[in-house]
Amino acid sequence: MKNEDFLQDKIGRDPGFRVPDGYFEDFTIKTMESLPPYPEQPKPVRLTAWQRVKPYVYMAAMFAGIWLTMKMFHDVSTAASRLSLDNPPEAVAYAMASYDGPETSYMYDNNLNDYELMKEVGEEYASMDAFEDAFGYELQEEYDRGE
């Protein structure tokens, strides 16, 4: 406390700032005169019927989309549970009855590499004419070597 008393005795309690006499009497009047004029509120724009109804139409479309998606998932899940190989639908049963088995004219061995496959095809067809006749394909002249 001694230091505070010493400073107050040396400097005093007067801060050195003073407000001029009558400053606050007309302060608000001077401030209001110096401000720019207050802009008028814009008049509200009248909405069209579509602008008023649009949010409700969008919300209805959203719920319809959700409902259709749920219906589709429900239909797919119930159809999958009804489908079995013991009682297939008519189209699948007809396709299964008319199926004779795989084409056995040429079976591709997955274990052959490209060289072995070319060698096997080359041994089976002596010329390109035989290959063309077997597959019913005719090479274009620029690719035909004439062998």
Q: How much is the pTM?
A: 0.32
What local confidence, expressed as pLDDT, does residue 104 receive? 47
The vertex-13 CA angle with 8 and 16, nearest 5°, equals 125
pLDDT cut 90: percent of the chain above it: 22
The three-class DSSP label of residue 106 is coil
CB 109, CB 103: distance < 8 Å: no
DSSP string, 5-38: HHHHHHH-S--S--PPTTTTTSHHHHHHHHSPPP
When pLDDT is cut at 50, 70 and 90, the band that residue 81 belongs to is low
Would you kindly state where each structural domain of the chain is located, as residue ranges? 49-79, 104-147
**Ranked by mean pLDDT, which of 41-50, 102-111, 112-121 comes out on top?**
41-50
